[in-house]
């Protein structure tokens, strides 16, 4: 049973060449490079969502303040 799905994408020739060079330099396949890039993008979007929620709660005065040992880290 396959644990991953196959996805086909279209890339402009220049991006295809760049991705091949980067993958080779990083000692990974182009598929690994694309998976890594997509994973980082998804993580970044999650972080941006968290920041947006933080700012919205801050503006509404609903921001929860950490107390105790964690508060000293901020």
Map 11-55 to HEC letters: CCHHHHHHHHHHHHHCCCCHHHHHHHHHHHHHHHHHHHHHHHHHH
Q: Is 31 left (phi over 0), alpha (psi -120 to 50) or beta?
A: alpha
Res 59: pLDDT = 87
- How far apart CA 72 and CA 61 sit, in angstroms, is 21
Res 2: pLDDT = 81
What are the tens digits of pLDDT across the range 18-49?
Answer: 999 999 999 999 999 999 999 999 999 999 99
Structure letter (DSSP) for residue 7: -
Res 18: pLDDT = 98
With a cut of 80, say whether residue 55 has pLDDT above it: yes
């Amino acid at each position: 049973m396959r644990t991953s799905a196959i996805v086909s994408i279209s890339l402009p020739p220049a991006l295809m060449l760049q991705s091949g060079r980067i993958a080779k330099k990083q000692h990974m396949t182009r598929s690994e490079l694309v998976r890594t890039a997509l994973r980082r993008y998804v993580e970044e979007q999650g972080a941006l969502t968290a920041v947006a929620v933080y700012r919205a709660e801050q503006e509404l005065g609903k921001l929860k303040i950490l107390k105790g040992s964690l508060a000293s880290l901020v």
